[in-house]
A and B are shown apart, each in its own frame.
Chain A
Amino acid sequence: MGDVMLQEAISVAASLMLLISFALLAQHRLLSVLHWFAAQGVVLALTTLLVAVISGHNELYFSALMTLLLKGALLPWLLWRIIRKMHVHREVEPLVNMPVTMFIALTLVLVCFYVALPIERMSQLVTHNTLAIAMATVFLSMLMMITRKKAITQVIGFLSIENALFFTAIGATHGMPMIVELGVAFDVLIAAIIFGLFFTHMRSTFDSLDLDVIQEKSKR
């Protein structure tokens, strides 16, 4: 009974993760990208909570709370502040246009599905079928980093890769050991702060957060 419920809950969460990854790719405005990123954090926290309730691992409650605070609230807020302070242009500037990005994204999901197939067959875990989706989420975040111009979107892409990995861990093994999780959480937090500092410096040195502009200027 518990297994079936767990599986269903994780399935729903996995499809939500996939949906959010696509939503992140499809946004035109930077702020809505941020909103979806926050939503990803919340979904992650909810998944953790569900797994905690169903599997009865107590430390997962703490993990869920931390995820919610850190990834659902703190990181998006930090990024939002950066955007506001830097007066970043509100539009997302894609290098590749939307329909093509979507098409590549769908293909990526298919590829991940194909790659994960043999692994899933071997796996005995109840949640083995989320592996493909978790992998796809990682790749989609990478796609976002590749196809967007701004440094901010790259940071969001990076952070959502981390989210995807966390999701894989939750889905596959009911969460990593607490100590690892804490370590990673702090790493991410520190990284976000460092990114913030970087942005400030980049801005003051190059007058822009657009990577093409930065590259152009640093060549001179």
Chain B
Amino acid sequence: MSISITLWVLNLVQAALMVLAAPLLAGIIQKCKARLQNRRGAPILQPYRNLLKLFRKETLLAENASWIFRTTPYVLFTTTALAASVVPVFLVDLPSALIADVIAMAALLALARFWLALAGMDIGTAFGGMGASREMTFSALAEPAMLMSMFVMSLGAHSTNLSTMVEHALHLEHLLPSVAFALAALLMVAIAENGRIPIDNPSTHLELTMIHEAMILEYSGRHLALIEWASQIKLLLFATLIISLFVPWGIAESAEVWPVLTALVFWFGKVVLLAVALAVLETGLVKVRLFQVPEYLSTAFVLAFLGMLVHYILEVGA
């Protein structure tokens, strides 16, 4: 396993890019939504300013907060950033993709969620418990759909290694309906996992409807900043995952200057497109009732499972 220094350096650059660009994506989505609602909206760089402000503010902890509550922001940020660093962004051949494959990546995100839910339960308020309960429940229902759609992709690629999967997707010659099913399922899961409309509203503080926000009500200062940042990274991570797995065109296959630069431009353009699409979706849809979420997620699962059946019926048998 001789991996050149260049690749590792590029990998680190990629990880840093994911971490640093994440607030930008949030800014773009906010701006788009504002424009769609005929508002001028905050500047695109506003999320960076928010984070800076939060980092400077003093941190207040509840009296009975335990060490779990204090470590959560760090664990959350660390695991999310680590998960983000194994997804190919502009280069297919990624040495860190060997550390954790797609299943391990999902498990890292699950670890982050586990810790966050514990933090929600830590203080002992009704909101925290409610958020933790709902978040864990819905993500549990999303898990099979996510895994099944990953399965569909890895059945074709004969691998769960993200680099190999992206490479396979890049060299697909035929129209494969199963991929479309997997994409649809993964999009639905991504919306649910990131707590966007129609599952959760990231900008609400209305107690009966919130899921994610309810868990982090007690956080302040730099703790809050890290949590916000982590959820922005997660959004970018899912966007990049979808882009690299399903529309990888333009991604660099060799670590040379020119392909990498064009790949960067392509990636950026595709992320912006996804952001616009998400903004349009969020403006057009309303949040569904809490108990319709399971139906939504089971639809995602059915889609992914159909993808797998279609793969076996139409693509393997052929």
Question: Is there a direct interface between A and B, measured as CB atoms under 8 Å apart in the complex?
Answer: yes
Q: What is A's interface to B at a CB cutoff of 8 Å?
A: 4, 7-8, 11-12, 14-16, 18-19, 22, 26, 98-99, 102, 106, 109-110, 113, 117, 120, 129-130, 132-133
Interface of B is mostly: helix
CA distance A16 to B180 in the complex (A): 10
Task: Give B138 Cβ to nearest chain A Cβ, in Å.
Answer: 15
Question: Do residues A113 and B309 form an inter-chain contact, with CB atoms below 8 A?
Answer: yes
Convert B226-241 into 0s and 1s, putting 1 for each residue whose CB lies closer than 8 angstroms to a CB of A.
0000000000000000
Known contacts A129-B318, A133-B313; A11 and B177 CB within 8 A of each other: yes
Q: Chain A interface: which of B82-90, B100-108, B155-163, B295-303?
A: B295-303
* Chain B residues near A99 (CB-CB < 8 A): 295, 298
- The chain A residue with its CB closest to the CB of B310 is A15
Alpha-carbon separation in the docked complex, A117 to B295 (Å): 32
Q: Which B residues are CB-close (under 8 A) to A15?
A: 177-178, 180-181, 306, 310, 314
Does B305 reach chain A (CB closer than 8 Å)? yes
Given A8-B174, A15-B310, A129-B318; 16 other pairs, CB 8 A cutoff: A7-B318, A8-B175, A11-B175, A11-B318, A14-B310, A15-B181, A26-B299, A98-B295, A99-B295, A102-B302, A106-B309, A110-B309, A113-B312, A120-B317, A129-B313, A133-B313
Instruction: For A16, list chain B residues within 8 Å (CB).
Output: 177
Closest Cβ–Cβ distance, residue A190 to chain B (whole Å):
34
List A contacts of B177 (CB < 8 A). Answer: 11-12, 14-16
* Chief secondary structure at chain A's binding surface: helix
CA distance A130 to B310 in the complex (A): 10
Q: Which of B178, B180, B318 has the most CB of A within 10 A?
A: B318
**B310-A106 in contact (CB<8A):** no
Residues of B within 8 A of A117 (CB): 317
B interface, CB within 8 angstroms of A: 174-175, 177-178, 180-181, 295, 298-299, 302-303, 305-306, 309-310, 312-315, 317-318
Contact A19 B306 (CB under 8 A): yes
8 contacts between A and B (CB under 8 A): A7-B318, A11-B175, A15-B314, A16-B177, A18-B306, A22-B302, A113-B309, A117-B317
Contacts of A106 in B (CB 8 A): 302, 305-306, 309
Contact residues in B for A129 (Cβ distance below 8 Å): 313-314, 317-318
Q: Which of A4, A14, A110 contacts B314 (CB 8 A)?
A: A14
Give the Cβ gap from A213 to chain B, nearest Cβ, in Å: 27
Query: What are the 3 closest A-B residue pairs judged by CB atoms, nearest first?
Result: A15-B177, A129-B317, A11-B314
Residue numbers in A under 8 Å from B303 (CB-CB): 19
- Distance A4 CA – B310 CA, assembled complex (angstroms): 17
A101 to chain B, nearest CB (A): 10
**Please, how many angstroms separate the alpha-carbon atoms of A132 and B178 in the complex?**
15
Chain A residues whose CB sits within 8 angstroms of the CB of B305 once the complex forms:
106
Chain B residue at minimum C-beta to C-beta distance from A10 = B314
Instruction: Chain B residues near A22: list those with CB within 8 A.
Output: 302, 306
Within 8 Å CB of B313, what residues of A? 113, 129, 132-133
| Residue in A closest to B318 when the chains form the complex, CB atoms | A129
Q: Which residues of B contact A7 (CB under 8 A)?
A: 318
A residues within 8 A CB of B295?
A: 98-99
By a CB distance below 8 angstroms, the chain B residues around A120 are 317
